[in-house]
Amino acid sequence: MRNFGALLTNEWIKLYKKKSFFVYFGIMALFIGISGYFIHRYPMEGMDSALDFVALFGSMMGAGQILPLIAIIAIANIVPSEFRMGTIKLLLIRAQSRTKILASKYAVTLLFSIVLIAATLAMAFITGFIVFGFGGGDAKTLTLIGENVLYLTIYTLTFVTLTFLVGVLTKSSGATVGISMFCVMAGGILTLLLNRYSFIKYTLFPNVDLSVYQNGGTMPQGMTLPFSASVIAIYLIVFLVASFFIFRKRDVS
């Protein structure tokens, strides 16, 4: 366990030392700040407190529009960079197994994504407090925040896991970013185009955004919240099994 902790710490330090590390948080801060200004300038109904603002930006309609894309860009290079720079050989000659090495990289991708979400919520609260003050909000608002954050986290981590798999498969950061972002942006369009076909409900795209159940959205027949959660879980397992299998079997010249 101590060895895995050392690997995890090492991977986090490598990610942290990148010049772009704080840029991702800066982008979210800018997005929240600009949105806060416009909401203050052009008031929205029901937006009366910092908690209401957090509820909005913790949702798929808020941070969900940009945060998953930022997470993809941030972690897309975590595996391909090792192959491009040749440092993968140095990792593999250590006493650690390939499984532990890849697991530490995946753990860091999850950790970064969660930290990014937490930082976004904190910045949204600060912005909301400055613009609206702390008054207002109730237990219902807190419940809404919890649901929104849960759905945003599941959505983000699902695509982060897909990005991780693509990175292992392609060993190219450019291809990883391109394919992953295409999946995020084209998923909704493909779902609409193929909505009349029953097989679509077994694919990832119509299931990954669980907030549609919260908002009473129209879903293909037979889909429920537990069904979508099960489909997401199955895809995550498939992505991870494929990632570790390929990484363990791959020859490194």
CA distance 51 to 59: 12
* Cβ 80 vs Cβ 167: under 8 Å: yes
Residue-wise pLDDT tens digits, 18-73: 888 999 999 999 999 999 888 888 877 778 888 989 999 999 888 999 999 999 99
CA distance 203 to 113: 24
Domain count for the chain: 1
The residue assigned the tokens 């993968």 is 88
Q: Residue 216: phi, psi to the nearest 5? A: 70, 30
Residue-wise pLDDT tens digits, 116-172: 999 999 999 999 999 887 766 677 888 999 999 999 999 999 999 999 999 999 888
* Cβ 81 vs Cβ 170: under 8 Å: no
Domain membership of residue 81 as a residue range: 2-249
Residue-wise pLDDT tens digits, 224-248: 889 999 999 999 999 999 999 998 8
Residue-wise pLDDT tens digits, 74-94: 999 898 888 777 777 777 776
CA 241, chain centre distance (Å): 19
Report field, pTM of the whole predicted structure over 0.85: yes
Q: How many residues does the chain have?
A: 253
CA 36, chain centre distance (Å): 23
3-state secondary structure of 44: coil
Give me the mean pLDDT over the 180-204 stretch: 85
